[in-house]
Amino acid sequence: MIANTPADQVEHHPCPECEALAGSPCGTGAGKVAANYHTGRFATVPSLKAGLTVKAPADRNPGKRWVQGKPVPVVAEAMPGAAIRIGYARCSAVGPELQSQLDMLARAEGG
């Protein structure tokens, strides 16, 4: 499975505020890596607006000079008309069983 942390999600989009390329952390005005992603970047990933501070990943070295990150992998386009599988996990306030559902989804991904 591909990591799907908030930082991974924002790294798939360029930052509209500091112009950091997709796959790179946000930068400060002094050219250093920002400790947190800019709020402007969340405009491209609406689901992240609730958590307005997404820390830059550890491998991006916050506080040091900005360095181009690894390019975001390009995903092959889906074949038109090809079948797709959609799965979801649900957790209610009563007796959460989220992890077992996530495990089942991960196993189903290969099948």
Q: How many domains does the chain have?
A: 1
Q: Considering the domain boundaries, does residue 8 fall inside one?
A: yes
CA distance 54 to 44: 14
Asked if 41 contacts 49 with a C-beta cutoff of 8 angstroms, the reply is: no
List the structure tokens of 62.
Answer: 């916050």
Return the pLDDT at 1: 44
Which tokens is 86 given? 């959609």
Per the CB < 8 A criterion, the answer to whether 38 and 18 are in contact is yes
In a domain, 56, yes or no: yes
78 CB-near residues (< 8 Å, 6+ apart): 84
Residue 31, domain extent: 1-66
Any domain includes 28: yes
Q: Give residue 111's pLDDT.
A: 55
Closest among 8, 6, 7, 24 to 71, alpha carbons compared: 24
Q: Is residue 6 part of a domain?
A: yes
Residue with tokens 């402007």: 40
Does the residue 41 lie in any domain? yes
Collapsing DSSP to helix, strand or coil, 33 comes out as strand
What pLDDT score was predicted for residue 101?
81
Q: Which residues of the chain fall below pLDDT 70?
A: 1-3, 50-51, 72, 78, 92-96, 109-111
Residue 30's pLDDT is what? Answer: 85
In a domain, 71, yes or no: no
In a domain, 94, yes or no: no
